[in-house]
Each structure stands twice: as structure tokens, then as C-alpha cells.
Homo-oligomer: A and B are copies of this chain.
Amino acid sequence: MTPLSPSDQLFLWLEKRQQPMHVGGLQLFSFPEGAGPKYVTELAESLRAYSCPQAPFDQHLVSKFGQSYWETDTHFDLEHHFRHEALPKPGRIRELLARVSAEHSNLMDRERPLWEVHLIEGVRGKRFALYSKMHHSMIDGMSGMRLCMKALSTDPSARDLPPIWAMQPKKKQEQSKPTPTDLISSLAQFSGAAGKQLSTLPAVAREIAKSVKKAKTDPNYVSIFQAPQCLLNEPITGSRRFAAQSYPIERIKRIGRAFDATVNDVVLAICGSALRDYLISQHALPDQPLIAQVPVSIRQDDSIGGNQIAMILANLGTHIADPSNRIEVIKASVNEAKQRFKQMTPAELLNYTALTMAPSALNILTGLAPKWQTFNVVISNVPGPKETLYWNGAKLEGMYPVSIPVDRVALNITLLSYVDQLEFGFTACRRTLPSMQRMLDYVENGIHELEVAADINHR
């Protein structure tokens, strides 16, 4: 019986009907060569044979004296966790996204180990999909994605690769701490790092409120309270919309070279353009630019030990119609933030990060909606596998993170690189943000207008 860490416990507390706290990953595979029409049925059969889950997939929650523990589930029922499903015809990506949107809206059964794997047949073009869903109290999004990738092989002839729930668990010393790549995980990390006891949430909220009050009177911090009120920052409901698409990284890099910008800058420019188009279509574009919270890698001196992830706030230039001007604003904003980080001590960095998250944290912890907003949207760009991966001979065509919208942050954009592709995943509350799937068209427009501005003949 293992007690949950305070930060894992946090995700149980934060979860409510309108705000499920599970993360997901969608993997798209093509059939191995020579696979027959019964391929997915046989695959499902072979997966059902792995009926003995390994830790943590065999652990369920038990509650004793108000504390939650992980304990082995003695009534493990694989049929509940592993589900074989199908898309209706014509089985386009559109039908796949609708299926994942619906599944990602459903709360998980807390009496059982908090994971589900959905094997989805009927994807057009000899393909199938895996949608894996895990509760954030069990694993954070990026560790989950890494686990899904670890189940694959670079060798197309490798066979008998077990599904994620049956893989031998890593040895202790290999286990790395979760990367704080999203709002919630960062909040938990911060709280832990600052030595706060999360068991007294109101006290934490009071501490955050105190820092915020101080910061508001300190002119050096004023700039971070500029995010406009926006449709993206309304309360959310329980139903989700997931949209995803792959783009060649080379298209992004070419734009980067033309504007002397990093891949991350170009990604922000594309997202800024898409958000601008989307909010115009909803008659909801604020006059002030949207602010994105972006996890970036900041090199520190050796005492910190290699790379460190920090949260920066980037101006997305959504108030600017011209794509060239917009990307310059974004570049300047990102560079300014990076410079600021470089001059900070680790303690200052921690305080700053805490501060940028304060309004959302206050809202999440107390349910109070602050009148100010430090950012409007979360955009994470996560490095993924550099080599083509296979699962028992089936080639991984793409892999898309499905993340967690929260109250007042109704859209999460997570990108993942895979070999020569960049995969965009948009997870949103489908009621707060109607027709959010149009973001895919707006992303394509955003790339195209940057190519035109840079005089690149892409098409």
C-alpha cells in the first residue's frame, strides 16, 4: 500500500464532473505488410492474452483515514480497461477524432486502476489507432507519452512486444521525475519544491494570494498581468473536442530560417494566427494580444544540472493582422523572457514561475475566478522520437497528445515532434469553444501566410 504523493493527490481533489483530470495519447498505426482483413480482430485477441497487469497498471485507489493509497486491485478486469472499438464508415480521421473526443469526455471509474486502452479499428487506408487514457494522479501526460513510445521498437521485424499495461516496470534508479510540461503538473511541482504541505490547500492559496498582492505593487512584475479576458478563459463543461494534425517539420524550419526564428517561435506564430482567425470567427478577438504559457528549456549553470524547464509567457501578437509583424513581436517577447530567466537565480526563477501561474492556481484551488489573467492558453512543444517506431510490425504514423483543459484555460495545445513531422494536438471544452476543430484549417492558413510572407513556394 503506497500513499499518493501530495501532487498526485492534488489531481484527485481538482477533478470534478466538468473537469476530468486524465491525460490521453492517440497513436495512429498502419497495418504491417501482408496483414489480412482480420488483422485488428486478431491483434485484439492477442492483447487480451496479457491479462496480468504490471505496476502501476495493477494499482487502484483506496482511501484510509482521508489519505489515498495505491493498492493492488484483486478484482482486476481487463475487459474494463482494454476495449476493442470501431469507427463508423467512412472511417476518416474526422470519425477518429469524434470518437476520441467522446471518450476523452468520460470520467474514469475510481474503483479500478486508472487507465484505459482503446484499440480502434476501421480507420480508412489500412490503419488502426490506439487511444490510451490515464489519470494524472497515476502518471503525468509526458511520462505517459514516453511510456507509450517505450512500448514500441525501431525494428519493424520485432514481435511479441507487450502492450503498455504488461511491460516490466522500470527499475527505481531509471525512473526520472516527471517533466513539468503543463500547468497542473507545474503547479504541483512548484508547491512541492517550495516545501508547502498541499494537505492544507487554503493555506497554499493564501500564500499565493500574498505573493500576487505584493507583485501587483511591484513595477517589475506589472507586465505579467496583461493577458486580456477572452472566450478561452471562461469556465468549462464536461464535454471535450479533440483535433489533431501532422505537418512536415521542414515547412516549419524553412519559415524559421526566413525569419531568423526558432521552431518554437514559428509554432507560436502559427498558433497565434490560428487563434486570431478562430476568435474572429467567434466575434471574440480581444484588442490586446493573447498571452500563451509556454514551457521552454533554459540552460542554467552546472550547479543546476543540465537543462531545466521553465514556464515563459509569450505574447502571441493576435492583435496584429500582418504575419511578418506578428512573428517579430513573438520573437521579441520570447527572447525577452529568456533573457530575464538567464539573469535569475534558481530561487527567483521559482518565484517567477509561481507568480505567472498564480491566477490559474487560485482559481483551480479555490474556485474563485480572479479578475485578471496571466495567460490565455497553454502551448507545449515536446520533443518526441527521432526514429520511426513500430509495434509488432505496424508502423507508427503519428502520435498526438490529448491533454486537460481546466476552468478558465479551456484550450490546451500540445505539439509533439516525430521523425520529420510535427503533430499538433488541440484539446478543448467543446461547449466553451464551439467548432474548435476549425483550428486545423486555421493552422494550415497560418503556415501558408507565413510561407507567402517569406516568399517560400510551398504550393
Contact = CB atoms under 8 A, between A and B. Distances in A.
Interface of A: 17-18, 38, 40-41, 44, 75, 77, 79-80, 83-90, 95, 98-99, 102, 105-107, 109-112, 121-122, 237-239, 430-431, 434
Contact of A237 (B107, B109, B431, B434): B109
A109 B44 CA distance: 30
A89 B86 contact: yes
Given A41-B89, A44-B88, A122-B86, A110 B238 contact: yes
A86 B83 contact: no
B109 A77 contact: no
Contacts of A434: 75, 77
Contacts of A79: 98
Contact of A88 (B112, B121, B238): B121
A238 B109 contact: yes
Given A83-B102, A109-B431, 17 more contacts: A17-B107, A18-B111, A41-B90, A75-B431, A75-B434, A79-B98, A80-B430, A86-B88, A86-B89, A88-B121, A88-B122, A89-B121, A107-B107, A109-B239, A111-B238, A112-B237, A112-B239
A75 B98 CA distance: 19
B77 A431 contact: yes
A453 B111 CA distance: 43
Nearest to A235: B111
A17 B105 contact: no
A236 to B, nearest CB: 9
A431 to B, nearest CB: 6
A84 B107 CA distance: 21
A89 B431 contact: no
Nearest to A106: B106
A437 to B, nearest CB: 10
Nearest to A111: B237
B89 A17 contact: no
A431 B112 contact: yes
Contacts of A41: 88-90
7 contacts: A77-B430, A84-B88, A84-B95, A85-B88, A86-B122, A105-B106, A107-B107
Contacts of A98: 79, 83
A102 B107 CA distance: 12
A139 to B, nearest CB: 21
A242 to B, nearest CB: 13
Contacts of A90: 41
Contacts of A237: 109, 111-112
Given A86-B89, A88-B86, A111 B40 contact: no
A237 to B, nearest CB: 4
Which of A38, A95, A111, A430 is packed against the most chain B CB atoms within 10 Å?
A111
B111 A431 contact: yes
A315 to B, nearest CB: 31
Contacts of A18: 111
Contacts of A89: 38, 40-41, 86, 121
Nearest to A118: B102
Contacts of A105: 106, 109
A251 to B, nearest CB: 31
Contacts of A238: 107, 109-111
6 closest A-B pairs by beta carbon, nearest first, are: A111-B237, A86-B86, A86-B88, A106-B106, A109-B238, A109-B239
Contacts of A110: 17, 238
Nearest to A75: B431
A122 B86 CA distance: 9
Contacts of A40: 88-89
A85 B99 CA distance: 8
A111 to B, nearest CB: 4
Contacts of A109: 105, 237-239, 431
Which of A85, A99, A112, A434 is packed against the most chain B CB atoms within 10 Å?
A85
Contacts of A99: 85
Contacts of A102: 83
A389 B237 CA distance: 38
A40 B239 CA distance: 25
A90 B37 CA distance: 11
